Amino acid sequence: MDDSVRDITIIGGGPTGLFGAFYGGLRGVSTRIIDSLPELGGQLTALYPEKDIFDVGGIPKILAKDLARDMVTQAMQFDPEVILDEEVRTIERDGEVFRLVGRQGEYLTRTVVVAGGKGAFEPRHLTCPGYHELMGRGVGYTVKDPEEYRGKRVLLVGGGDSALDWALILKDVAAELTLVHRRDGFRSHETSVARLHAANEAGELNLMTFHEVQEVHGSDCVIGATVMDNRTQEARRLEVDAVLTFLGFKPDLGPIKAWGIELDKNRIVVNQLMSTNIPGVYAAGDIVCYEGKLDLIATGYAEAAIAVNNAVHFINPDARVNPGHSTNLAIFKDK
Ligand code: FAD
């Protein structure tokens, strides 16, 4: 239980939530960001880190992961509290404040800005036998410390950035590293793909394209996996100690539906102040709907500014909604 009461808690650390946290800092209120992912950036880091973005004002072209990095830098200058790997399950009124209940803890806040995008991102998993049964006992979907895999035979599954990045790191730590991918195309930076093929040719890892995992074997821990060539249906068993999957993320609106907030087709209904039907609860970004809504980073920025400035006024009715221009604000004088 985090018993410190924040002025604004932002649910979602995508572009909208990050810009909201920056604005909270600019207005001098205490801010907290909670995200279900292990890193900030929302869709930009979870879904398309290597794609170029061309339509953010003042930035002609930028990789999504670089924009996410810069948004984090901008937001962090006012030291918001950041809670990652945490999904907010419920929001309830508790006297003067809201109590947010997550998987890991509870959080008190005077106002809430829901910037949940398409919902909480959850990792995609395999559905084959043995996968869920051996989760945490050799099967995993994140790497906390590469040293855990030193000297082990590791089977990695996936074809995106995370799969390739970890393959290139773990090949130097593991006794044997096999990367299985169901196609021969990769959703990753071309430099990583070139390095992967070079490592395969040098015998530093074993790349198996057009293969899928059919079963993970073991009772107390992983002892092997059966992989199948999806062109010939030929199956073969590999002796491995660990199976790590990097299959991307899928959003789940799940809990947000039960918060008592008015929705329209899985989107939160807001007025021009970005206020929901619950006083003190605001929303912004891809999660909201109103006539003319556009799902863009630029739109999310503007909505975040409106939501946060109105939240500031809600907390302190003497505070103006209009923040003034950053060019003139004393808070930036030392920066
Ligand atoms: P998101 O980025 O979705 O972030 C929401 C965050 O909230 C997520 O990290 C999620 O885990 C978290 N969350 C949700 N519910 C909970 C919960 N209950 N508890 C904890 N955390 C929660 N836009 C452009 O402007 N230009 C482009 O070129 C562009 N290209 C795109 C390309 C692709 C492939 C895709 C998929 C989108 C693209 N977009 C682009 C759209 C843009 O990424 C979105 O509009 C933007 O990410 C929305 O930001 P957001 O912060 O509102 O939501």
Residue 1 has pLDDT above 60, yes or no: no
Take atom 15 of ligand 1 and give the residue whose Cα is closest. Answer: 120
- Percent of the chain whose predicted confidence (pLDDT) is above 90: 82
Residue 84 neighbours by CB distance under 10 Å: 13
Please compute the mean of the pLDDT values over residues 39-44 and round it to a whole number: 93
Please enumerate in sequence order all residues whose Cβ is within 8 A of that of 155, keeping only pairs 6 or more positions apart, or say none. Answer: 178, 180, 213, 225, 227, 238, 240, 242, 243, 244
Q: Which residues are bridge partners to 10 per DSSP?
A: 33, 113
Q: How confident is the model at residue 335 (pLDDT cuts 50, 70, 90)?
A: low
Residue 232 has pLDDT above 70, yes or no: yes
What confidence score (pLDDT) does residue 330 get?
83
Q: In angstroms, what is the C-alpha Rg of the chain?
A: 23
Residue 2 has pLDDT above 60, yes or no: no
Please compute the mean of the pLDDT values over residues 219-240 and round it to a whole number: 98
- Tell me if 11 sits within 8 A of 112, measured CB to CB: yes
Distance (Å) from CA 16 to ligand 1 centroid: 8
Please compute the mean of the pLDDT values over residues 14-41 and round it to a whole number: 96
Ligand 1, residues at Cβ distance < 6 Å: 11-17, 34-37, 42-44, 47-48, 51, 53, 55, 87-88, 115-121, 255-256, 285-286, 295-298, 300
Residue 53 has pLDDT above 80, yes or no: yes
Distance (Å) from CA 33 to ligand 1 centroid: 15
In the DSSP assignment, the letter for residue 327 is G
Got the DSSP string for 128-197? STTTTTTBTTTEES--S-GGGGTT-EEEEE-SBHHHHHHHHHHTTTSSEEEEEESSS--BS-HHHHHHHH
* Half-sphere exposure in the Cβ direction for 30 (13 Å, CA): 8
Run of H or E including 32: strand 31-34
Instruction: Say whether 332 sits in a helix, a strand or coil.
Output: helix
What confidence score (pLDDT) does residue 143 get?
83
What confidence score (pLDDT) does residue 48 get?
82
Atom of ligand 1 nearest to the CA of 86: 20
Q: Which of 29-33, 93-97, 102-106 has the highest mean pLDDT?
A: 29-33
Better-predicted residue by pLDDT, 149 or 331? 149
Residue 68 neighbours by CB distance under 10 Å: 25
Residue 296 has pLDDT above 80, yes or no: yes
What confidence score (pLDDT) does residue 250 get?
82
Distance (Å) from CA 117 to ligand 1 centroid: 5
Residue 200 neighbours by CB distance under 10 Å: 17
d(CA 201, CA 125): 29
What confidence score (pLDDT) does residue 333 get?
76
Take atom 23 of ligand 1 and give the residue whose Cα is closest. Answer: 296
Run of H or E including 90: strand 88-94
In the DSSP assignment, the letter for residue 260 is S
Q: How confident is the model at residue 329 (pLDDT cuts 50, 70, 90)?
A: confident
- Mean of the per-residue pLDDT values of the chain: 94
Distance (Å) from CA 14 to ligand 1 centroid: 5
Question: Per residue in 150-203, pLDDT tens?
Answer: 999 999 999 998 899 899 999 999 999 999 999 999 988 889 999 999 999 999
Domains of the chain: residue spans and CATH = 2-121+250-334 (3.50.50.60), 125-247 (3.50.50.60)
Residue 39 has pLDDT above 70, yes or no: yes
